[in-house]
Amino acid sequence: MKFIILAALVAVAAAADYAPKYEAPKYEAPKYEAKYEAPKYEAPKYEAPKYEAKYEEVTYAPQPYSFGYDVQDKESYNDFEHNEKSDYNVVIGSYRVALPDGRTQIVNYKADKDGYTADVKFEGEAKYPEEPAYKPAYSAPAYSAPAYPAPAYPAPAYKAPAYPKY
């Protein structure tokens, strides 16, 4: 038996000497020559503005004008009108708006050196729709109050502890 063990050890040692030895391949990174250089940027140069000249507001002489427009759209219930005219110093205008309650609001105004003045008038009478009588679409089912039976638990019974005597 000793001979078999000794023969096995000699065979393993001999096999270890004859095993081919492999080395990992050596990798060298390829060398590239740069054909293009990265662009070089200079930091922007900023010059602070020079405020030597003073700001002057441009003003224009008042100009006469006149405009007007009217909108009547039956689908969206929009009905309004606006007219305005001005000579050099006084603005006179009016606008009319159909209100949701059926009335028409008419405003005539004047703006001049003394301020803004307006005359507001209403044409027609306010009409509000009558509230329909409320009728529920269904009748709510009648439920009785819930009845819960009392739980059938026995009353707790506490026993005095019994201590052993030594």
Domain ranges of the chain: 79-123
Task: Check residues 20 and 125 and name the one with the higher pLDDT.
Answer: 125
Mean pLDDT of the chain: 82
Which pLDDT band holds residue 20 (cuts at 50, 70, 90)?
low
What is this structure's pTM? Answer: 0.43
> DSSP for the chain?
-HHHHHHHHHHHHHHHHHS----PPP--PPP---SSPPP--PPPP--PPP--SPP---------EEEEEEEEETTTTEEEEEEEEE-SS-EEEEEEEE-TTS-EEEEEEEEETTEEEEEEEEES----PPPPPP--SSPPPP-PPP--PPP-PPPP------PPP-
Question: pLDDT tens across 142-151, in order?
Answer: 888 888 888 8
Q: What confidence score (pLDDT) does residue 131 get?
A: 78
